[in-house]
């Protein structure tokens, strides 16, 4: 099942691209973040992370760390547009 039907506009979501070998690392960080969000793997290192809007700032902090630590590429997902996250 594609990710699109599972993530709707009531959630804050980001497209995240990491190396395939880093997917387990990202999943572990997200799981250790006390329910911050859900991770959906589309293929290889192409991920979607969705969170409740009340946790958006925490999500942004985690994603900024991923950009610095492993070179993740982050894009905002909303209304079929995407803006790259510049950190």
CATH number at residue 62: 3.30.70.2030
Domain coverage including residue 28: 8-77
Query: Is 85 contained in some domain?
Result: no
Query: Is 56 contained in some domain?
Result: yes
Q: Tell me, what's the pLDDT at 16?
A: 96
Q: Tell me, what's the pLDDT at 78?
A: 59
Query: Is 84 contained in some domain?
Result: no
Report the domain count for the chain: 1
Exposed e or buried b per residue across 1-14, where buried means at least 16 C-beta atoms within 10 angstroms of its C-beta: eebeeebeeebbbb
Query: Is 1 contained in some domain?
Result: no
Query: Is 59 contained in some domain?
Result: yes
- Mean pLDDT, consecutive 10-residue segments, the chain of 87 residues? 62 94 96 93 92 95 97 78 42
Concatenated DSSP letters for 32-73? TTSS--EEEEEETTEEEEEE-GGGHHHHHHHHHHHHHHH--E
Query: Is 86 contained in some domain?
Result: no
């Amino acid at each position: 099942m594609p990710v699109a039907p599972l993530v709707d506009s009531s959630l804050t979501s980001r497209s995240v691209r990491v190396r395939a070998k880093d997917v387990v690392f990202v999943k572990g960080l997200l799981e250790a973040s006390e329910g911050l969000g859900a991770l959906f793997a589309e293929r290889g290192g192409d991920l979607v992370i969705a969170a409740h809007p009340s946790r958006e700032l925490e999500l942004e902090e985690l994603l900024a760390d991923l950009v610095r630590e492993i070179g993740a590429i982050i894009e905002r997902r909303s209304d079929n547009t995407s803006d790259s996250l510049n950190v």
